[in-house]
Amino acid sequence: MTQHADDDVERHGGVAGLRLATGTTVDAPAASLPVDRNQAILEAAKQVGAILKREGHAFALAGSVAVYAHGGAQNLQHDVDFAIRPEDAQAVAETLREAGITVRTPPEDWLLKADCLGQQVDLIFELAHQPVTTELLARADDLSVDSVFMPVLSPTDLLHSLLSAFSEHHCDFGAVLPIARTLREKVDWDAVRRGCGNAPMPDAFFYFLERLEVIEPGPKEGRS
């Protein structure tokens, strides 16, 4: 789950000889990957998160794995997302490469892509059309992700990033609705509304949530 629709970007091969968080090196052939895709994505999130935490990088888990960490269903999407600051992108890439993880620069200028245990990992330094900041990462919650603790974007920031990504070309309400239902008690909806402003697609989604009684009705100013 990323800010933009970029599924057409070609992925490269997996990783052999991945160094684990302990610093040891093991072979990681495709045959040894978990059969369950959700578990495979979790394993990749744990490996990358543990490496970044061990090396002291500022980051936060984002995307569908972050929703899972906050109590959402284990129905993970096609990749793992981490939020990092733009100024840290090069250092993060070097750390992962030293651990044996392939990192590449796609045409998009707001993320890097990595391959860990056969899974795609997006290292995103722009969320909700804004650079990832120290303040955003400071609001992250330290949560257990399948037994590995790491910073996870707050529910409010998660929903803000998802709704701000809506556009005429990418507006899948059905994918975000279950997330909004699951996290609704943990989200500062007033803050999400303020962050989205009067953008038409998020505003339509707020109306949708109100009609379904997921959230309380908000101010009507500016709504035709």
The string of pLDDT tens digits covering residues 61-79 is 999 899 999 998 877 867 8
The string of pLDDT tens digits covering residues 186-203 is 999 999 999 999 899 999
Quote the pLDDT of residue 9: 32
Could you tell me the pTM of the whole model? 0.80
d(Cα 58, Cα 136) in Å, to the nearest integer?
11
Q: How much is the average pLDDT of 78-106? A: 96
The pLDDT > 90 percentage for the chain reads 71
Q: Is the pLDDT of residue 23 over 50?
A: no
Place 7 in a pLDDT band, splitting at 50, 70 and 90: very low
Closest CA to 127 of 209, 42, 60: 60
Tokens 């895709």 sit on residue = 37
d(Cα 193, Cα 144) in Å, to the nearest integer?
28
**R_g over Cα of the chain:** 18
Parallel, antiparallel, or unpaired: how do β-strands 119-124 and 141-145 relate? unpaired
User: What integer best gives the mean pLDDT of the chain?
Assistant: 85
